[in-house]
Structure 1
Amino acid sequence: MLNQTMPRTSTRGPAMQRPRPVAQPGSRSAGLTGSRSGPLREARTKPGVSFRILGPLEIVTPTGPLPLRGMNQRAILAFLLLHTNQVVATSDLMQILWPNGGAPATARKVLQNTISALRGVLARGAIPADVVSLVSQAPGYMLRMAPETLDLTRFRILADQGRNAMAAGQSESAARSLRAALDLWRGRAGQELAESGIDWPQLAVVDSARTAALEDYCDAELRNGRHHEVIGCLEAATAAEPSRERSCRLLMLALYRTGHQAEALRAYERLQQHLSQDFGVQPSREVRNLHQAIINQDPALLPPGCPDSRDIGFSSQSDPELDLLFALLALVQRQQRPHVVTLAGDTGGGQGWLLSELTSRLRQDGQVTVWHVRTGPDGAALGDDLRAALRRATPHRPLVAVAENLHHVGSAVPACVGEVIRAAGRTPLLMVLTARAEPESLWPGWNAAVPWSTTVMV
Structure 2
Amino acid sequence: MSERPDPVRFNLLGPVNVVLADGRVVLPSGGPRAVLVLLLANADRVVSVEQLASAVWGEHRPSTAAAGLRNHVLRLRRMLGDDAGLRLRTVAPGYLITTGPGELDVADFLEGCRLGAEQLRAGEVATARQTLSTALELWRGAPFADLPPCVDGAAQAHQLDETRMKAWQDRVDADLRLGRHRELVAELRGLTRAHPLREALHGQLMLALYGADRQAEALAVYQELRKRLVAELGVEPSAQVVDLQLRILAADPSLLEPAERSGSGATVPGPDGRSVGQAAPCSSVKAW
With the length of structure 2 as denominator, give the TM-score of the two structures: 0.76
SS at match of 1:121: helix
Which secondary structure does the structure 1 equivalent of 2:166 belong to? helix
Matched, 1:242 2:202: no
Matched residues in 2 for 1:200 and 1:96: separation? 14
2:27 maps to which residue? 67
- The counterpart of 1:86, out of the listed 45, 58, 61, is 45
Alignment of 1:44-443 (within 5 A): 48-61=7-20, 62-70=22-30, 72-97=31-56, 101-123=59-81, 126-127=82-83, 133-191=87-145, 200-304=154-258
Shift of 1:127: 4.2
Deviations 1:227-258 (A, max 9, x none): 12222322222222211222222122111111
Cα deviation per residue 1:202-221 (whole Å; 9 max; x = unaligned)?
Answer: 12222222222111111111
Query: Which secondary structure state, in structure 2, belongs to the residue aligned with residue 149 of structure 1?
Result: coil
Distance apart, 1:193 and its partner CA = 5.2
Q: Output the CA distance in 1 between the equivalents of 2:93 and 2:228.
A: 45
Of 159-168 and 104-113, more deviation after overlay is shown by: 104-113
- CA distance 1:257–1:121, shift in 2 (3 Å): same
User: Would the aligned equivalents of 2:34 and 2:146 in 1 still touch at CA under 8 Å?
Assistant: no
Aligned partners of 1:49 and 1:127 also within 8 Å = no
CA distance in 2, matches of 1:162, 1:241: 22
- SS of 2:13's equivalent in the other structure is coil
**Matches of 1:77 and 1:151, distance apart in 2:** 14
Greater C-alpha Rg: 1
Letter in 2 for 1:183: E
Distance 1:103 1:79 in 2: 17
Deviation, structure 1 residue 284: 2.1
| Cα displacement (A) at 1:223 | 0.8
SS at match of 1:186: coil
How many angstroms apart in 1 are the aligned matches of 2:42 and 2:111? 16
Judged with a 3 Å threshold, the aligned counterparts in structure 2 of structure 1 residues 234 and 64 are, in CA distance, closer, same or farther, namely same
Give the conservation status (yes or no) of the 8 Å contact 1:73–1:117.
yes
For 1:69, the aligned partner's letter is S
**Pairwise CA distance, 1:117:** 2.4
Q: TM-score, normalised by structure 1?
A: 0.50
CA offset digits 1:351-370 (Å, max 9, x no partner): xxxxxxxxxxxxxxxxxxxx
- 2-structure distance, mates of 1:55, 1:75: 14
In 1, Cα distance between the equivalents of 2:104 and 2:202? 31
What is the aligned partner in structure 2 of residue 352 from structure 1?
A: none
The aligned amino acid for 1:223 is R
Q: What is the percent sequence identity of the aligned residues?
A: 36
Output the CA distance in 2 between the equivalents of 1:208 and 1:230. 21
Aligned length: 253
Whole-angstrom CA distance in 2 between matches of 1:245 and 1:194: 34
Structure with bigger strand share is 1
Which residue identity does 2:218 align to in structure 1? Answer: A
- Tell me the alpha carbon deviations over residues 75-110 of structure 1, each in whole angstroms, 9 at most, x when there is no partner: 3322222221122233333443356x4544444444
Give distance in 2, aligned partners of 1:139 and 1:174.
Answer: 42
CA distance in 2, matches of 1:90, 1:275: 47
Consecutive unaligned residues in structure 1, runs of 5 or more = 1-46, 306-458
- 2: distance between equivalents of 1:194 and 1:241? 27
In structure 2, relative to structure 1, the CA distance for the partners of 1:96 and 1:244 (3 Å cut) is farther
Amino acid at match of 1:111: L
Q: Contact 1:81/1:143 (CA < 8 Å) preserved in 2?
A: yes
